[in-house]
Structure 1
């Protein structure tokens, strides 16, 4: 038996947790930068905390690997260095800094396009490990090459984004297989899984930066995410962070009506949710358009009614 409770809410507009297609961006980009940048922080404290934990997990399991320990350790350390370099370059770009203008950084980026140099040492002696790392390398290079292309073609007025950064790499399928109980205490498997999580956090931060520069005009591609919504504002969890009291553009897309709403908003609250490695961002709408506000309120009430009807009393 399910029950439904309607809580008292003294606000003019009720807030409701509901899935919604939404896109939020700062109203003004960073000014006087080498590369166009919105100013969003893609490496907030929660993400840096997650990255640190994933690196510790990788090193913890790596210390317990016994088979070909020297070669494996050298390869792991090279890959970690490559991932961290990618992250550092991503963070610079998010701040409007062009890595191409720093010759040593640009040379390192170009060299890393060749892949992991120490991987071939395991080709004959550990073909399975070699294959795993070739799949890790393949995923890494897709993102690295997208980054290099962006750096080469971006200007202070334009961020050259990749419209379709892929998902579902072969290494991701392998990681699902590694989740089986039989692999729980195998150091090499667990170190690879931790390393891929470490890499994935950096890559997804770059994906967000990329997508924030390409998806604004493609609302049908916005994912449906859970948010606390009202006709006068919203609060949502992100893996990125906006600035306190920053002016933002908030867009909603409703596929059934093929309608996009735009609200001018102000960030009024930011909280780090450390146990989820997320940032909770609250936005109030500033002088919203009456028709758009009424339509949003209608969609909220419609969702609330549908939820009520789906419960058994």
Structure 2
């Protein structure tokens, strides 16, 4: 029997590799190594693009790519088109963004000062704005967006007064002679008791509920395979770790790949809702609609 065009197109769509974009950071390459290299049984193929978080946030807002690693802060702008997958992302404790300066100080010292951030729609910047509202009288001055790996050199060289850093900078900022003025994660955990929501995995709702469940299963399987055999992912992690010290890469993975990566769970979803609800109440992001975080719900 001849397939109808619709059936044929559906088969073609399922055979075609899915376009995915995530960062070259160790946590992402660790998580997706098994899937990206075809070792997850039954998982669709992936066409991988590496991009900094500010780039992937923009891709999501433009509806580009099938699957993306983005900041949780961008979710209110993209959840009509994308669904949040319940795994694969970065949440945790003791892993928040840091505000770095050349000299020790307090939040008050940032009044009117220039601060470099990795993205204006990053979770790091959202956490910073919530902290600054309480800790920087009169507010900061100019905000400059820089790729995350350029922020510490910019602070060190005096091009900006302070920098909001993410990723492995938590382990390496002393190498630049910098001081930690404030820990956004510590502030978040102290005021909410919740883990810190950083990066999310989202996928196009148009793929359909069944396909979205398959992608969640593939992501979770890839995470567990990486945990079961960490050495298998090492070449992929090392290749893209931008000359990072292997010990720092291992610390990075240990901090950002945890139980929330395998499954957001009740506490993970509570943290996400807490962040976005609080930010919406402050007028920093649009309010989420009912059921916006529900996985696999097509609208």
Q: TM-score range by the shorter chain?
A: under 0.3
Taking structure 2 as the reference length, what is the TM-score of the superposition?
0.25
Structure with greater Cα Rg: 1
